[in-house]
Chain A
Amino acid sequence: MPAVSKGDGMRGLAVFISDIRNCKSKEAEIKRINKELANIRSKFKGDKALDGYSKKKYVCKLLFIFLLGHDIDFGHMEAVNLLSSNRYTEKQIGYLFISVLVNSNSELIRLINNAIKNDLASRNPTFMGLALHCIANVGSREMAEAFAGEIPKVLVAGDTMDSVKQSAALCLLRLYRTSPDLVPMGDWTSRVVHLLNDQHLGVVTAATSLITTLAQKNPEEFKTSVSLAVSRLSRIVTSASTDLQDYTYYFVPAPWLSVKLLRLLQCYPPPEDPAVRGRLTECLETILNKAQEPPKSKKVQHSNAKNAVLFEAISLIIHHDSEPNLLVRACNQLGQFLQHRETNLRYLALESMCTLASSEFSHEAVKTHIETVINALKTERDVSVRQRAVDLLYAMCDRSNAQQIVAEMLSYLETADYSIREEIVLKVAILAEKYAVDYTWYVDTILNLIRIAGDYVSEEVWYRVIQIVINRDDVQGYAAKTVFEALQAPACHENLVKVGGYILGEFGNLIAGDPRSSPLIQFSLLHSKFHLCSVPTRALLLSTYIKFVNLFPEVKATIQDVLRSDSQLRNADVELQQRAVEYLRLSTVASTDILATVLEEMPPFPERESSILAKLKKKKGPSTVTGLEDSKRERGADINGGPEPTPASAASTPSPSADLLGLGAAPPAPVGPPASSGGLLVDVFSDSPSAVAPLAPGSEDNFARFVCKNNGVLFENQLLQIGLKSEFRQNLGRMFIFYGNKTSTQFLNFTPTLICSDDLQATLSLQTKPVDPTVDGGAQVRQAVNIECVSDFTEAPVLNIQFRYGGTFQNVSVKLPITLNKFFQPTEMASQDFFQRWKQLSNPQQEVQNIFKAKHPMDTEITKAKIIGFGSALLEEVDPNPANFVGAGIIHTKSTQIGCLLRLEPNLQAQMYRLTLRTSKETVSQRLCELLSDQF
Chain B
Amino acid sequence: MSRGKCCKGGEGLEIRFILIQNRAGKTRLAKWYMQFDDDEKQKLIEEVHAVVTVRDAKHTNFVEFRNFKIIYRRYAGLYFCICVDVNDNNLAYLEAIHNFVEVLNEYFHNVCELDLVFNFYKVYTVVDEMFLAGEIRETSQTKVLKQLLMLQSLE
Contact = CB atoms under 8 A, between A and B. Distances in A.
B98 interface: yes
Nearest to A254: B139
B9 A216 contact: yes
A89 B155 contact: yes
B64 interface: yes
Contacts of A765: none
Given A213-B12, A684-B67, A301 B133 contact: no
Contacts of A60: 121
Contacts of B98: 301, 304
Contacts of B94: 304, 308, 344
Contacts of B68: 681, 685
A21 B8 CA distance: 47
Nearest to A200: B143
Interface string A292-324: 000000000100110110011000000111100
B60 A347 contact: yes
Nearest to B102: A301
B154 to A, nearest CB: 4
Interface in B100-136: 108-109, 112, 114-115, 117-121, 124-125, 128, 132-136
Given A4-B119, A312-B89, 13 more contacts: A3-B108, A60-B121, A88-B155, A89-B155, A171-B132, A216-B10, A219-B7, A255-B95, A256-B136, A305-B95, A343-B59, A384-B59, A681-B68
A177 B64 CA distance: 24
A107 interface: no
Interface stretch (A202-210, A432-440, A592-600): A202-210
Interface string B49-93: 000000100111111101110000000000000000110011110
Nearest to A140: B35
Interface of A: 2-4, 6-8, 14, 17, 21, 60, 63-64, 67, 69, 87-89, 92-93, 96, 99, 126, 133, 136-137, 139, 163, 166-167, 170-171, 173-174, 177, 201-202, 205-206, 209, 212-213, 215-217, 219, 245-247, 249, 254-257, 259-260, 263, 266-270, 272, 301, 304-305, 307-308, 311-312, 319-322, 343-344, 347-348, 381-382, 384-385, 387, 621, 627, 678-682, 684-688, 807-808
Most chain A CB neighbours (cut-off 10 Å) among B58, B150, B155: B155
Contacts of A308: 89-92, 94-95
Most chain A CB neighbours (cut-off 10 Å) among B67, B142, B152: B67
12 contacts: A133-B132, A139-B133, A167-B132, A174-B133, A246-B143, A255-B95, A256-B92, A259-B89, A319-B8, A348-B90, A387-B64, A684-B66
Nearest to A258: B92
A89 B119 CA distance: 13
B40 A343 contact: no
A347 B91 CA distance: 11
A6 B121 CA distance: 14
A321 B3 CA distance: 6
Contact of A2 (B8, B11, B115): B115
Contacts of B22: none
The A interface is mostly helix, strand or loop, or mixed, namely: helix
B121 A170 contact: no
Contacts of B61: 344
A308 B98 CA distance: 14
Contacts of B151: 88, 92, 126
A129 to B, nearest CB: 8
Most chain A CB neighbours (cut-off 10 Å) among B9, B86, B152: B9
B150 to A, nearest CB: 8
Nearest to B128: A133
Contacts of A167: 132, 137
Contacts of A344: 60-62, 90-91, 94
Contacts of B114: 2
Contacts of B60: 343-344, 347, 382, 384-385
B109 A3 contact: yes
A92 to B, nearest CB: 7
Nearest to A259: B92
Given A96-B121, A205-B138, A219-B7, A311 B89 contact: yes
A384 B63 contact: yes
Identify the 10 closest CB pairs spanning chains A and B, nearest first: A269-B4, A308-B91, A174-B133, A246-B140, A8-B155, A2-B114, A88-B154, A209-B135, A308-B92, A170-B132
A688 B35 contact: yes
Contacts of B64: 384, 387
A267 B67 contact: no
A217 B112 contact: no
A83 to B, nearest CB: 15
A98 to B, nearest CB: 12
Nearest to B91: A308
Given A256-B92, A312-B92, A343-B59, A681 B112 contact: no
A587 B95 CA distance: 74
B89 A202 contact: no
Contacts of B63: 384
A161 to B, nearest CB: 11
Most chain A CB neighbours (cut-off 10 Å) among B35, B55, B58, B115: B35
B36 to A, nearest CB: 6
B133 A64 contact: no
A576 B26 CA distance: 56
A250 to B, nearest CB: 8
A17 B118 CA distance: 7
Contacts of B140: 201-202, 246-247
